[in-house]
């Protein structure tokens, strides 16, 4: 397996992206899989690195990356050393980041003999699951889309009433990271950017209009993104496949840091279902 890790992908109008690429360097075109992390996530979180071999061993070109404003840096892509960037993130920036990664894979000379650009799958976890659904709905480059514990509604996660008014008045709101204890900021532009682009960012509209295969994977024991959201996604697209993992939590058994040498069984089931969907 060839591993090209922590690659800096520059962006003209945004911060750079740090990305990893994994593939068998055998000169054979392979379906491309692009994994997008979720809220307060990053490409090296928990057991994500352990799923790489499963994809590569099935002759897939696997990519994972940090969104440009996830709070990581080139020097430290794990955790959140750049809280200013985290606070300035928006959904539209994340959609632009995916486009940049697509462009990079498409144009990089070292990849061209090992990729099949007619076969690209987007995979996203949690908030990233919602992001990939929106991107798949607007991009002609995507052949199929998979959400893992994916959200069904971005707007429903914003505060309302007094809390929204306080956020607007202060210009910034904070949420504590339970693990790192950091006070993680959200500038009010996060909300205004959503409202200005709400039609584009409505996941229901994207899913109802999907013309490509869709797989929805959901932990039945998820308390963060509840199974009702997965059921809603399938209701919007009855041709989508819904796979419930019995008793699985939001991260499918993984935690950070993950010190074991193998994936938790629930995450392994998720990865296997995803690969089966891609290869069918």
Q: Which helix (H) or strand (E) holds 17?
A: strand 17-23
Q: What is the pLDDT of residues 225-274, one digit of tens each?
A: 999 999 999 999 999 999 999 999 999 999 999 999 999 999 999 999 99
The confidence score (pLDDT) of residue 153 equals 98
Burial classification of residue 263, based on how many CB atoms lie within 10 Å of its CB (0-12 exposed, 13-18 middle, 19 or more buried): buried
> Mind listing the domains of the chain with CATH numbers?
2-154+200-279 (3.40.50.1820)
pTM for the whole structure:
0.98
| CA distance linking residue 74 with residue 17, whole number of Å | 8
- In sign, the C-alpha dihedral spanning 22, 250, 235, 98 is negative
- Strands 17-23 and 2-9, by their bridges, are antiparallel
What DSSP designation does 110 have? T
Burial classification of residue 5, based on how many CB atoms lie within 10 Å of its CB (0-12 exposed, 13-18 middle, 19 or more buried): middle
The confidence score (pLDDT) of residue 239 equals 98
What DSSP designation does 91 have? H
| CA distance linking residue 225 with residue 223, whole number of Å | 6
| CA distance linking residue 227 with residue 217, whole number of Å | 10
Task: Give 129's contacts (C-beta < 8 A, 6+ positions apart).
Answer: 38, 147, 148, 149, 150, 151, 225
| CA distance linking residue 39 with residue 113, whole number of Å | 34
Q: What is the pLDDT of residues 163-196, one digit of tens each?
A: 999 999 999 999 999 999 999 999 999 999 999 9
Q: What is the pLDDT along the chain (280 residues), one digit of tens a residue?
A: 999 999 999 999 999 999 999 999 999 999 999 999 999 999 999 999 999 999 999 999 999 999 999 999 999 999 899 999 999 999 999 999 999 999 999 999 999 999 999 999 999 999 999 999 999 999 999 999 999 999 999 999 999 999 999 999 999 999 999 999 999 999 999 999 999 999 999 999 999 999 999 999 999 999 999 999 999 999 999 999 999 999 999 999 999 999 999 999 999 999 999 999 999 9
| CA distance linking residue 259 with residue 280, whole number of Å | 33
């Amino acid at each position: 397996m060839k591993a090209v890790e922590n690659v800096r992908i520059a962006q003209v109008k945004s911060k750079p992206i740090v990305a990893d690429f994994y593939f068998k360097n055998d000169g054979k075109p392979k379906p491309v899989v692009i994994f997008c992390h979720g809220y307060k996530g990053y490409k090296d979180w928990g057991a994500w690195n352990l799923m790489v071999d499963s994809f590569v061993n099935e002759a897939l070109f696997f990519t994972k990356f940090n969104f440009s404003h996830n709070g990581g840096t080139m020097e430290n892509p794990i955790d959140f050393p750049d809280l200013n960037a985290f606070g300035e993130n928006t959904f539209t920036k994340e959609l632009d980041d995916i486009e940049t990664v697509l462009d990079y894979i498409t144009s990089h000379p070292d990849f061209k003999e090992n990729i099949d650009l007619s076969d690209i799958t987007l995979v996203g976890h949690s908030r990233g699951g919602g992001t990939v659904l929106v991107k798949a709905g607007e991009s002609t480059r995507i052949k199929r889309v998979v959400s893992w514990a994916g959200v069904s509604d971005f707007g429903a996660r914003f505060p309302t009433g007094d809390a929204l008014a306080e956020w607007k008045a202060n210009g910034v709101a904070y949420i504590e990271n339970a693990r790192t204890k950091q006070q993680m900021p959200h500038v009010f532009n996060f909300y205004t950017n959503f409202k200005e682009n709400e039609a584009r960012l409505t996941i229901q509209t994207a899913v109802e209009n999907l013309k490509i295969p869709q797989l929805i994977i959901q932990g039945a024991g998820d308390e963060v993104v509840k199974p009702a959201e997965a059921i809603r996604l399938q209701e919007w697209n009855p041709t989508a496949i819904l796979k419930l993992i019995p008793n699985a939590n939001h991260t499918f058994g993984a935690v950070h840091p993950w010190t074991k040498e193998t994936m938790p069984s629930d995450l392994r089931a998720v990865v296997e279902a995803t690969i089966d969907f891609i290869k069918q």
